[in-house]
Amino acid sequence: MRKMWQVTMWAVLASMLNGMPGLADVTAGNTNLQIEGSTTVGPIADEFVEAFKRIHPQVSITVKKTGSGDGAAALIDGRCQIATMSRFMKSEEFQKAVAKGVTPVAHAIAMDGVCVIVHPSNPIKALKIEQVKDLYTGKVTNWKELGGADMPVVVISRDTSSGTYETFSHFVMGKSRMFEKVEYVNSNPQAYSRVTTTPGAVGYVGLGFVDEKVKALEINGVAPNRKTIQSGRYPLSRPLFLFTNGYPELGSMVHAFCTFYLSEKGQEIVEAKGFVPVTNY
């Protein structure tokens, strides 16, 4: 009796290890889709997956959100088929990829604006890009100097590995570095809540995080909204990407996923998630 029980246990364990999906992966090819990368693009991917599941119930898709850089690394290592990135791939990453026989191909699936936000009690409404830079380099430390209230500036930035940081520092900081008093936070929600609770704070988040509790500043006279971001008139506009290894094989699940944003439903999802669709659907 005891022996039989043992045998059953081993059989169960063995079947779990080498179970059907394990084998099915190999035989059915592309039914297993792994997506990895940006925390900004991740939510879009989540909703795409949910909609996708209804159309192709046989596909199993996993989404991981750790950062744009991790997405690029995973794509280069072959740990994922699709990397979500909120910035374009850097040339070093391209070189590494090519050295490993991976050709990254970008699919821009949505647009986003990096909005500079302040507490709604702050009388400042608009800033020039150089003035934002002055705030982050520590040249301006009191709002008074920009014509605002007499209040020290609390500067909030995203952590340096995020794609949002890369975008911001590319457009605003240029070659100069942020000064040592800048407070780094790990995510968009953190930056948002830090600004909502601190009257003197300035931070930057994606368009989806702007609501009535924070004030998005006009940059160079342009307010961030759908129109200005889509046309690129808002200076801190950026596309969001999916990266694949080569252009995905036509008819494959990767291809279907990477072109899903072109469908009306895909565009609607992008918009419902607080981003700007690439086309006027």
Using CB under 8 A, list all residues that contact another protein: 16-22, 25, 34, 39, 42-43, 45-47, 49-51, 60-66, 77-80, 120-123, 144, 148-151, 186-190, 192, 199, 208-209, 212, 265, 268-269, 272-274
4 versus 20: smaller Cβ distance to another protein: 20
- Nearest approach in angstroms of CB 164 to another protein is 12
7 versus 23: smaller Cβ distance to another protein: 23
- Nearest approach in angstroms of CB 174 to another protein is 28
The answer to whether the Cα torsion of 177, 97, 21, 25 is positive or negative is: positive
203 versus 208: smaller Cβ distance to another protein: 208
Antiparallel, parallel or unpaired: β 126-127 and 154-158: unpaired
The string of DSSP codes covering 67-117 is: -HHHHHHHHHHTS-SEEEESSPPPHHHHHHHHHTT--EEEEEEEEEEEEEE
Residues 242 and 259: their CA atoms lie apart, in Å, by 10
Cβ 217 vs Cβ 126: under 8 Å: yes
208 versus 248: smaller Cβ distance to another protein: 208
95 versus 142: smaller Cβ distance to another protein: 142
- Nearest approach in angstroms of CB 64 to another protein is 5
- Nearest approach in angstroms of CB 67 to another protein is 10
Cβ 266 vs Cβ 258: under 8 Å: no
Q: Which of 133, 34, 121 is nearest to 84 (CA)?
A: 34
